[in-house]
């Protein structure tokens, strides 16, 4: 068997085992997905109150659905919040940073140095398996929530070209989320504790990715500054694409920039791994 065939069989074995491990938690995936939508109710009610107050200030019986904030009406805002949950499910990587850091600190990465298995590639396959099983199980809760809230999606189902762009953007958000958190975990080669950095990253990601509100609501020049950062491609950009607010050349350019960020962070991951190994020392059996 060729070296390439052996390597493919190895990756397939890792992927298959990872899928089997994740299937053990299928009940937790389904119930957890449904429960994650409950905190979203707070944000929905908050925006509902904001739009209702703005309609009341008009004083002429203006319908709440006629109020717009930078192109967003009430339905758009609620649809955006629901779509952000979908996008964040792709880009979030719970436990990845801490897992890599713990492996480095406890010397568990030695197994990747004596076996023909690439750590970053193995972790990526495990996350792909996790997301695959997660969405196969969680498609029911997602479908239920989006069906009950279908009246908020005024734009309807995306056109075929827009749908293709959305698929590419969601894949890009997954790859970008993985690469960014992997880089943060690899910093453990130089720092004894990375939990504080992980917490700061989580806060920045939550705010700058558009999880709390659409980033195009930000005033100038903050909107321009945030647009230069990669965080928007984790949640805001996929949600805006799904709502039809990013189309045509803007969509193509956005996908190109997103994947450039993916390549950049993946190269950084490899550099941190190689440089980190030069200062790593593993002792014992």
In a domain, 259, yes or no: yes
Answer whether residue 129 is part of any domain: yes
Query: Cα–Cα distance between 27 and 24 in angstroms, integer?
Result: 8
Asked if residue 283 is part of any domain, the answer here is no
pLDDT per residue of the chain (285 residues) written in tens, 0 to 9: 566 666 677 667 777 777 766 666 666 666 666 666 667 777 788 888 888 888 888 766 667 777 888 878 888 888 898 888 888 888 988 889 999 999 888 888 888 887 777 888 889 988 888 888 777 777 777 777 778 778 888 777 777 888 899 999 999 999 999 999 999 999 999 988 888 888 999 888 888 998 888 888 888 888 888 888 999 999 999 999 988 888 889 999 999 999 999 999 999 999 999 999 887 765 544
282 domain residue, yes or no: no
pLDDT at site 170: 94
Distances (CA, A) of 119 to 11, 141, 273, 275: 11, 33, 9, 15
What's the structural domain count of the chain?
1
Per-residue tokens: 124: 């990526």
Query: Which residue range(s) make up the domain with 140?
Result: 3-277
On whether residue 240 sits in a domain, the answer given is yes
- Separation in Å, CA 260 to CA 19, 84, 87, 96, 267: 29, 22, 19, 22, 11
| Within-domain flag for 285 | no
284 within a domain of the structure (yes/no):
no
Neighbours of 21 (CB within 10 A): 13
pLDDT of residue 239: 92
Other Cβ atoms within 10 Å of 67 Cβ, number: 19
CA–CA separation, 234 and 94 (whole Å): 14
Residue with tokens 């805002």: 77
The C-alpha angle with vertex 90 and arms to 153 and 253, in degrees rounded to 5, equals: 75
Give the bridge partners for 69, in sequence order: 72
pTM of the predicted model, to two decimals? 0.86
From the number of C-beta atoms within 10 Å of its C-beta (0-12, 13-18, 19+), residue 283 rates as exposed
Domain contains 247: yes
Q: What is the pLDDT of residue 184?
A: 94
Residue 72's DSSP bridge partners are 69
């Amino acid at each position: 068997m060729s070296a390439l065939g052996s390597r493919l069989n190895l990756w397939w074995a890792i992927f298959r085992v990872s899928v089997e491990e994740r299937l053990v938690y299928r009940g937790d995936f389904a119930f957890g997905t449904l429960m994650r939508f409950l905190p979203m109710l707070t944000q929905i009610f908050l925006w509902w109150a904001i739009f209702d107050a703005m309609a009341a200030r008009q004083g002429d019986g203006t319908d709440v659905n006629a109020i717009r904030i930078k192109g967003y009406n009430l339905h758009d805002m609620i649809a955006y919040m629901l779509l952000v949950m979908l996008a964040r499910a792709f880009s979030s990587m719970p436990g990845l940073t801490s897992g890599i850091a713990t492996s480095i600190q406890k010397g568990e990465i030695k197994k990747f140095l004596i076996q023909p298995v690439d750590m970053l590639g193995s972790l990526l396959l495990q996350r792909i398996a996790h997301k695959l099983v997660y969405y196969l199980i969680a498609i029911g809760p997602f479908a239920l929530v989006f069906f009950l809230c279908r009246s908020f999606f005024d734009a309807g189902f995306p056109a075929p070209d827009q749908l293709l762009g959305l698929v590419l953007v969601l894949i890009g958000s997954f790859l970008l989320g993985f690469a960014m958190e992997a880089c943060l975990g690899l910093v453990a080669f130089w720092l004894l504790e990375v939990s504080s950095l992980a917490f700061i990253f989580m806060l920045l990601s939550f705010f700058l990715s558009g999880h709390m509100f659409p980033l195009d609501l930000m005033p100038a020049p903050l909107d321009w500054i945030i647009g230069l950062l990669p965080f928007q491609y984790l949640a805001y950009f996929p949600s805006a694409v799904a709502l039809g607010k990013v189309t045509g050349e803007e969509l193509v350019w956005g996908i190109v920039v997103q994947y450039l960020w993916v390549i950049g962070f993946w190269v950084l991951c490899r550099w941190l791994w190689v440089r980190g190994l030069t200062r790593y020392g593993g002792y014992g059996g």
